[in-house]
Amino acid sequence: MRRLKSFTLVELLVVITIIGIISGLVVVSFNSSRVKARDNKRISDANLIASALSQYYTTNLRMYPLGTSGGTTAYSIIQINSGSASIPFNNSLSNYLNPVPYDPSDSTTYGYYYVYRNDGKKAAIVVKQLEAGTSKCNIPQAAATATATASATATATNQLPDAVSKFILVKGSACYYVAL
């Protein structure tokens, strides 16, 4: 009688275990690549929005878009694409950037913010947080904290870094910004 050659149960379990380990490593590696890609998109979007704002500034009597407030030298913050609050901002940029980009992860932890002086003379785009940590952050945390403390006690401020620092105080963190 001829005996058929086949795999034993132990051999099959070893192969299945090896395949499981390899697929687990691939998933972990793929996830870190996705995090880096989303961070790169956030930085790219911030620069893209800043470019559109510069075009708006040039063609609109050297004024950045304003929200509902205006006239003083205080600063305001609008979350970009956060529902009805950002509609005036989106409408202002529709000729220069359509659609206005939004954060790639539908999470409230991350996001883009438009910080502007209420007289329209200064503005910045702020990325609230990056996922991959602080390696790409262009706001040194120690400097931001010191500036935030100083600007919180000042009676009036007209400088954009102070506004970004106030943003850090109000929103809890900021990781990347483009001053205009």
Query: What is the Cα–Cα distance from 132 to 146, expressed in whole angstroms?
Result: 24
Least confident residue range of 61-70, 106-115, 117-126, 130-139: 130-139
Average of per-residue pLDDT across 139-155: 46
pLDDT tens figures, 44-88: 998 999 999 999 999 998 998 887 655 555 777 888 875 555 677
3-state secondary structure of 79: strand
CA distances from 15 to 5, 8, 19, 20, 21 (A): 17, 11, 6, 9, 10
pLDDT tens figures, 79-111: 887 555 567 777 888 888 888 888 888 777 788
Instruction: Take residue 153 and report the two structure tokens written for it.
Output: 């006690």
pLDDT of residue 22: 94
Residue 85 is classified by DSSP as: G
Average of per-residue pLDDT across 108-132: 82
pLDDT of residue 157: 42
How far apart, in Å, do the first and last CA atoms of the chain sit? 86
pLDDT tens figures, 157-170: 445 666 666 565 55
pLDDT tens figures, 23-36: 988 888 888 888 88
Least confident residue range of 36-40, 67-71, 120-124: 67-71
| Model confidence, pTM | 0.70
